């Protein structure tokens, strides 16, 4: 049975047994998009909370501190947010391309903020940190809007697998 003949998307239609639906097709793509964005933000904040102390230890072991090297602090923050976000995306079924684009959406604002710091255009570290985070969130949204089909399907990357099985 093709996916369009049923109100649900299934893992497979190979067996005649009823299967657990992945997601109702009536669910709004906008809800999936918003939920995905929120999940990534939660993963980022969880990463900062869990990985901040080990990152600070690593910087101290290298013989420096965030006060002495604010660029290292910005990079550390990008890493501690990106790693869990990409891991969550991978868990949710996204492929390398989507994960790479989302990682880039985190690091490009970081590099821009470091450039502003090094150029002396903005010297207030707190303002740069706010700018970095706002730019990251906007950049993530931009990456998602460039590929809405990737983020509006409730089963993410598993959708292609389900369609191949039923084809």
The total number of structural domains that make up the chain = 1
Q: CB–CB of 131/113 below 8 Å?
A: yes
Task: Kindly report, residue by residue over 121-157, the tens digit of the pLDDT.
Answer: 999 999 999 999 999 999 999 999 998 888 887 655 5
Q: How far apart are CA 159 and CA 142, in angstroms?
A: 22
Mean pLDDT of 76-94: 94
Task: Kindly report, residue by residue over 11-65, the tens digit of the pLDDT.
Answer: 444 555 555 545 444 568 889 899 999 999 999 999 999 999 999 999 999 999 9
> Which residues constitute the domain of residue 124?
28-156
Query: How far is the CA of 155 from the CAs of 10, 12, 98, 116, in angstroms?
Result: 10, 13, 14, 39
- 0.85 surpassed by pTM: no
Give pLDDT, residue 28: 84
In a domain, 97, yes or no: yes
In a domain, 60, yes or no: yes
In a domain, 19, yes or no: no
Give pLDDT, residue 139: 96
Q: How far apart are CA 93 and CA 11, in angstroms?
A: 13
Q: CB–CB of 110/78 below 8 Å?
A: yes
């Amino acid at each position: 049975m093709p996916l369009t003949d049923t109100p649900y998307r299934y893992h497979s239609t190979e067996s005649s047994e009823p299967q657990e639906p992945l997601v109702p097709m009536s669910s709004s793509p906008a809800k999936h998009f918003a939920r995905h964005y929120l999940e990534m933000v939660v993963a980022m904040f969880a990463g900062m909370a869990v990985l901040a102390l080990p990152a600070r230890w690593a910087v101290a072991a290298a013989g420096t501190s965030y006060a002495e090297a604010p660029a290292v602090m910005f990079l550390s923050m990008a890493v501690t947010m990106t790693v869990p976000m990409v891991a969550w995306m991978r868990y949710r079924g996204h492929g390398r391309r989507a994960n790479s684009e989302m990682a880039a959406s985190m690091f490009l604002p970081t590099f821009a903020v470091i450039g502003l710091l090094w150029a002396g255009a903005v010297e207030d570290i707190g303002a740069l940190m706010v700018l970095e985070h706002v730019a990251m969130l906007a950049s993530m949204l931009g990456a998602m809007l460039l590929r809405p089909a990737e983020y509006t399907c409730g089963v993410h990357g598993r959708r292609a697998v389900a369609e191949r099985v039923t084809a």
